[in-house]
Structure 1
């Protein structure tokens, strides 16, 4: 069968074989086009970037670990340009299909890996999550996805966006595979479940399926998310511009206008504004961790459903803000968060957010309570 060019930049049978045997034997991985894969250039979702990139001399550590554990790289899957979008729309390569909701986008920026997993052409989507780019496509496609604690999985060999928030994450059709990948990629950590869940955004019904006591709460940053979203945007954009601004200046109009605009916003962020934004984020993080204490996690919408594939720029901006409201707290605070399907149609998942280092506990709870396969 011909590979869908809106999903895959390049694929094979497989593209790169396993280098060892282990718990992931035979699993097929769709690698987001930000990761180094030996012998292939990183394209970053942009033809001009790809044209100047050299083949990687070695795998990114995350890719190497998966291959050593028995997984194969099925192919390199598309991303939103330089990972700085959330819809899954790429002006150069198209919009990958969402098998769970054909009229809607997959969400991004791990759009290609999510589509490959949702369609059954891969078992694992290896991607990145800076502002929601694992959890949002997982939610929009009815899949499972983990954003780990910031720094828990190495990001070497991965094209950066905003290093203060960048994480390596993954997407699967079932909870047990999600946990199996975690066993390979995550450092050791406790696997103790919380005693209760605090719920935002009317998620108590979905959260109750996990079998824990639930309590509806409110947070100022949820009721009025704009201050947190602005602080996050300033830090993210400032870092993104420092990383890629010189290339963007040298390649005018190489990016879609909305993506380039996000990068150029970073050039306008002053050092004082960035420092103030970081201080605000740190204060809000401390407040949330104090609320959670030692025995509670947070449940909130994971974002989704995806917006209509033909939605115009204004509508996409509104959808983006609503989605970031759900995704940014874990991103800004460096906390682990797992998106799980709820059975809603069209898909819109539930996100659990835990204190730092509780990645394995998140995966253990989800694998125990939600172990069914949601493939279609």
Structure 2
């Protein structure tokens, strides 16, 4: 948690680690169960035990009891890293040490249970491997799992492991997550150590992870990401990239309905906007002209987005050539035709194009970081649509791959963090294809992005289900949620006019219609405070905080009510908590100072 790829290590663990990794590795072969053979997620199964838990009364390690798998791109001492290709496996020796990220997870209590299949040389997004077969997509068994982190996503989706690690150069976490209906997190480039990971394109490679729920996704992040210097802010500005949704065949309306509906309940102060992000890139990233229409001066938004894809490909090809060109030439690996085609194209990459791509990367990073401040996120599709059918002819997938590369290139080339969030199926039925959306934020805002994923996960699937139950329509004017918002508006008007009893009445009506909206309880508390009903106001604030623990207004209002009734220590805790969430909050600072000056705390 303190530095990239690691966290605080208990003294006992530190002693054990100092004796060498073999000191705490206990490995045993495990016989495959029939359902796991059908799953085909693993290339090799074994167990690597974690560091031992500290003795009571110390708390167990954060990941104690959790099982994880690692893509066959991570080194594990004593095992050959296969990189998805049998020729690679045959020409490389067993790893002499274990990848940094794997060691960090073991130190924090997780058990490694094996290495998972991946696409050859990480050069595909389908998940089909001609040598090792195709892992089962539990969410859509007749369709591919996506790649290149195919086995890791499949193992998580099937429930064989609690979480799994993979890598993402050009969508290799985001696309499998969307296809398998699980969460994935691609962190800011360089924030998680890639030591002990076979490189594909070092400027684009990111070590990330999959999980079935957002809370575990965030917990793994707390073990691997650097500790934020300041508490992360809550996302207050949400931007839908409308033009990017046009690159996906998946329906956009349920995504928009689910995100806006969830924010209305859990974070009513958040602003939702729509933009054509390609036009932003066209105006803010001038070096894209080198990759749009052969360097022609003017470029459209569509050309700018396609240019980012081409810049990414130019950099990826050159770096793959630098890392593995000699091996490809000498070993002459057996590869699937589509993979061989991409490898051969990479071998023809040139340094001049890579340098131009690096300039695009710098400009893209600066432009999007300026737009995506530490409380702003971008919503976009993680994939170009439903997963293709298994064994589809490679040529039939060319258009899909081109659209996919446009969607994934923004985070890959810019080095931005991006989280993939599942939200049921495309038609709201069990047999529908998985539906997902993704959220992208500025470089280094990983903690805020993971918090946002947890917040959105509380409601998006439910709101999407309601969307489909209404026949694919958003809530109409007679819907309970709409009537609740009308009641809140009337309550706000009454509160502003100092008609406090009337305001409470309207807020009660809003709560009756929708008890899941923290804002209704918090606003009701403010009206009750004006009436001097501090006990009732405190209870309303507590209801709001049960729904939304980061509701600063509710914390401040409860603090003031507790101060009025003489519960000074509890009041101080509320004010201090509010200040942690919003370090610049003047009300919280003044309240803490006032209470301490008057000696109101023990």
TM-score normalised over the length of structure 1: 0.94
Matches within 5 A, 1:160-309: 160-189=199-228, 190-200=231-241, 201=245, 202=252, 203-211=255-263, 212-220=270-278, 223-224=302-303, 225-303=305-383, 304-309=385-390
Q: Secondary structure at the match of 2:404?
A: helix
Indicate the structure (1 or 2) with the bigger Cα radius of gyration: 2
Q: Tell me by how many angstroms 1:209 deviates.
A: 4.3
Q: Tell me by how many angstroms 1:102 deviates.
A: 1.0
Aligned to 1:116: 155
Contact kept? 2:368, 2:442, Cα under 8 Å: no
Aligned to 2:48: 16
Gaps of 5+ in 1: none
- The 1:298/1:373 distance shift into structure 2, 3 A limit, reads closer
User: 2 CA distance for matches of 1:68 and 1:74?
Assistant: 15
- The 1:210/1:186 distance shift into structure 2, 3 A limit, reads farther
Contact kept? 1:20, 1:67, Cα under 8 Å: no
- Compare the two structures and name the one with the higher helix fraction: 2
User: 2 CA distance for matches of 1:39 and 1:81?
Assistant: 22
Deviating above 4 A after TM superposition, structure 1's stretches of 4 or more consecutive aligned residues are 371-374
User: 2 CA distance for matches of 1:350 and 1:19?
Assistant: 36
Counterpart pick for 2:93 among 47, 54, 58: 54
Report the count of equivalent residues. 372
User: 1 CA distance for matches of 2:333 and 2:170?
Assistant: 24
- The 1:169/1:210 distance shift into structure 2, 3 A limit, reads farther
User: 1 CA distance for matches of 2:191 and 2:222?
Assistant: 12
Matches within 5 A, 1:100-115: 100-115=139-154
Gaps of 5+ in 2: 1-32, 54-60, 246-251, 264-269, 282-300, 426-431, 462-602
Q: Deviations over 1:68-118 (max 9, x none)?
A: 111111111011011111111111001111010111111111000100111
User: 2 CA distance for matches of 1:84 and 1:191?
Assistant: 35
- Compare the two structures and name the one with the higher strand fraction: 1
User: 1 CA distance for matches of 2:339 and 2:259?
Assistant: 35
Q: Secondary structure at the match of 2:43?
A: strand
Aligned to 1:150: 189
User: 2 CA distance for matches of 1:257 and 1:95?
Assistant: 16
Structure with larger RCO (C-alpha < 8 A, sep 6+)? 1
Q: Secondary structure at the match of 1:74?
A: strand
